[in-house]
Structure 1
Amino acid sequence: MTLSIRAVDGKRDLRAFVDLPFRLYRDDLNWVPPLKREALALLMPEKNGWFSHAKAQLFLAEEGGRVVGRISAHIDTLALTMPARQGFGPGVGQWGLMEAERQDVFEALLARAEAWLREQGMTRALGPISMSIWEEPGLLIEGYDHPPTIMMGHAKRAYRGWIEGADYRPVKQLFTYEVDITKHFPRLVQRIIKSGEANPRIRIREVDRNRFEEEAAIILHILNDAWSDNWGFVPLTEPEIADIGVKLKPIVFNDLIRIAELDGKPVAFMITLPDMNEALKPLGGTLLPFGWAKLLLWLRRPRVRTVRVPLMGVVKTLQASRLASQLAFMLIESIRQASVANYGASRGEIGWILDDNQGMRSIAETIECRINKVYQIYERDLAA
């Protein structure tokens, strides 16, 4: 049978693009089926604010009228303006959302994605990034033995060899850390926290969900400042925040998202989410016929094993100070207590964290976290 690669065209192709992983991973007990409507929304410019500064082309691989692979090629215009020393910069395109039945299918898809990037004037490719750096960057290379938490990816073991066999070299690793949150942190950390609690200049407060847009603006300001020197940083924009807010608002709880204030000014934050994957896994990607009722019941007051910290940050002016780690420990401890008491959680996951982010890695190690998953991003010169 002849293998063909073609561009996605229309809603039917989009559905085929989304449906493929459901077949490829149906026997993988650690894959979590996403809600299909949310997976479709990420691909649609009218529903994903990332497209306000990016463009993408999706491709399907077909053989005998059957879809056997998929890939995206995309360009983030904001990423093109970032300093090259931070990973992106002029001429850097990306690919992602890659799934394939066989290596030859992957190779054909990758060649087509690279050709599209060259046509757009790109000279270097990073991947996999699916599709925004803020969504699911990197290929899982360690930690296949347990399901990912919300907004983290899963992949087949074979993909690593396929990518490296296509002359891609590792450029960055992303870690997630897990920790038993039923236990108190080490005594040194407890002393640092108590010292902060006694400092009248410091206030740790819950966010107010009733002022969602205002609180989101505060967090966005801190985030874009705190992360601005990180590898792969692209500033989150207001359209993206709006769409992320719509997606995540059902699992935003006041006691799991907190802001640290110093002399009345917001200087740090920590976002924690109950692991919705625990509720989604049994639904098989659809809310019909009764999944909607089960999910609605869960959302009223989640009871979970795991809570995930996808984002936290301290303003840049404080990052070299002892106060930065003190604020981080205070935020973590206040949310740890709420997670155990109010959601029944016993496990926390922090990340992703860049391999060269020594500050965050040190904080994770000090509270006795351990790395549980590793994701890897690859690069290749498109002129080669």
Structure 2
Amino acid sequence: MTIIVEKVDVLNNKQHKKRFIDLPFTLYKEDKNWVPLLKMESNKMFSAKHPFYQTADVSFWIAIKDGVDVGRIMAIVNKNYLEFHQDETGHYGFFEAIDDSEVFNSLFKASSEWLKSQGLSKMQGPFNPSTNYESGNLVRGNNERPVLMMPYNPSFYEKHIEALGFSKVKDLLAYHIDSQFQMPEIITKIADRAESKNKITYRTISKKNWAQEAELMFEIYNDAWEKNWGFIPMTREEFMAMAMDLKTVADEKLILFSLVDGVAAGFIVALPDFNQVLHKIPNGKLLPTGIFKVINAKKYMTGVRVITMGVKKEFRKLGLETILYHRCHENIKSYKQYKDIEMSWILEDNLNMNKPLIRMGAKPYRTYRIFEKDL
């Protein structure tokens, strides 16, 4: 049968938005590893009011086969990316499809032609919708459920995307380690020495002052990650929106600031794995029964994800990264309920991040790939 690709106005048309959000629920109905996002969160992401769209132009398509929606894609012109990197790369994201090469071809053809019409010469992804959110196509570890804010897809995606001429541009790694691991003595010594030598202290975050704490994280964030591959500066509005979303799942003891002479220099964020709760809400709706899973969330969560850690440039080489790892781990260990820690994602060639994790005994157990193709 012929594949029909329909351009849809997800940000402004309620019916189109519903189809775009509902499609994965149909595709993954029998997949025990897929974790649905709450539909109320998807509705916020696909609202024209979301601050991401203040600095990006996007287009959406849905593929239809035999009268049924069987795939979707979003094409992205990220103005912050283009200004910061000074190149002509467009992005794609929120891609889902059945195991059908024609569906893949039709969706990528429509989105790549649109990006080309915007004056771009490369297509890169997946990003949902940028490196500041879910990123990468899962190419290793498809047999397990993903943790909080990490994407999932079937293994057949890789072959179809490569068949369209896309190739790897970068791999993102996820590390796993048992929460009760013994921190190597060399790391604890480095942390202790750095603390005493440089008047370094640390403190946990305060939910009572969340807005002010988020402002502090925002100040550190754009400074700390500026030189990383694929970095895209976040606007204050975008960062604050994300911070407010994270507040509901945040544990004060698992988000720490490091301070040098009383000045905030770096932070680390670990979050309870709320995906273990979301997995128990297969329809993505809080009502009528999903709300009770959320209320009893602590009962289901046995894992933690370290989602980010960064230090301002002027405070590099003081051992702050080691201190943050060490102190955060101590706090995670104090909870008997947390058995597993995932640290993700880490650029495959970021040796400053990979080496300490390997030294701790962490194992890279999932790989998320960023693909690229010349237009």
- Matched to 2:56, the amino acid is A
Distance 1:76 1:196 in 2: 39
**TM-score (normalised: structure 2):** 0.95
Render the CA deviation track for 1:160-191: whole Å, top value 9, x for unaligned: 01111111111111011111121221121222
Greater mean deviation of Cα atoms: 275-284 or 301-310 = 301-310
- TM-superposed deviation, 1:293: 2.3
Instruction: State the partner residue of 2:6.
Output: 6
Greater mean deviation of Cα atoms: 337-346 or 49-58 = 337-346
Instruction: State the partner residue of 2:295.
Output: 296
Instruction: State the partner residue of 2:42.
Output: 39
- Matched to 2:304, the amino acid is V
Instruction: Assess if the C-alpha contact under 8 Å between 1:222 and 1:268 holds in 2.
Output: yes
Aligned partner (choices 209, 216, 219) of residue 221 of structure 1: 219
User: Are 1:24 and 2:21 counterparts?
Assistant: no
Render the CA deviation track for 1:170-214: whole Å, top value 9, x for unaligned: 111101111112122112122223334544711010111111121
Distance 2:349 2:6 in 1: 38
- TM-superposed deviation, 1:302: 6.2
Instruction: State the partner residue of 1:63.
Output: 65
User: Are 1:346 and 2:339 counterparts?
Assistant: yes
Distance 1:233 1:96 in 2: 16
Task: Report the RMSD for the aligned CA atoms in angstroms.
Answer: 1.6
SS at match of 2:63: strand
Q: Pick closer, same or farther for the CA change 1:338–1:111 going to 2, 3 Å.
A: same
Render the CA deviation track for 1:261-307: whole Å, top value 9, x for unaligned: 01111111001100000111011111121211220232xx5662211
- Matched to 1:93, the amino acid is G
SS at match of 1:308: strand
- TM-superposed deviation, 1:74: 0.9
Instruction: Write the mapping of 1:288-367 to structure 2, written as runs, cut at 5 A.
Output: 288-298=287-297, 301=298, 304-319=301-316, 321=317, 323=318, 326-342=319-335, 344-367=337-360
- Matched to 1:307, the amino acid is V
Distance 1:15 1:124 in 2: 30
Distance 1:353 1:181 in 2: 19
Distance 1:167 1:339 in 2: 43
Distance 2:339 2:134 in 1: 25
Instruction: Assess if the C-alpha contact under 8 Å between 1:74 and 1:93 holds in 2.
Output: yes
- Matched to 1:144, the amino acid is N
- Quick one: percent identity of the two aligned structures? 32
Aligned length: 370
Structure 1 segments unaligned to the other structure (5+ residues): 84-88
- Matched to 2:37, the amino acid is P
Q: Pick closer, same or farther for the CA change 1:264–1:380 going to 2, 3 Å.
A: same
- Matched to 2:173, the amino acid is F
Q: Pick closer, same or farther for the CA change 1:290–1:343 going to 2, 3 Å.
A: farther
**TM-score (normalised: structure 1):** 0.92
Structure 2 segments unaligned to the other structure (5+ residues): none
Instruction: Assess if the C-alpha contact under 8 Å between 1:52 and 1:239 holds in 2.
Output: no
Instruction: Assess if the C-alpha contact under 8 Å between 1:273 and 1:307 holds in 2.
Output: yes
Distance 1:19 1:345 in 2: 32
Render the CA deviation track for 1:336-360: whole Å, top value 9, x for unaligned: 2222323621211111011121101
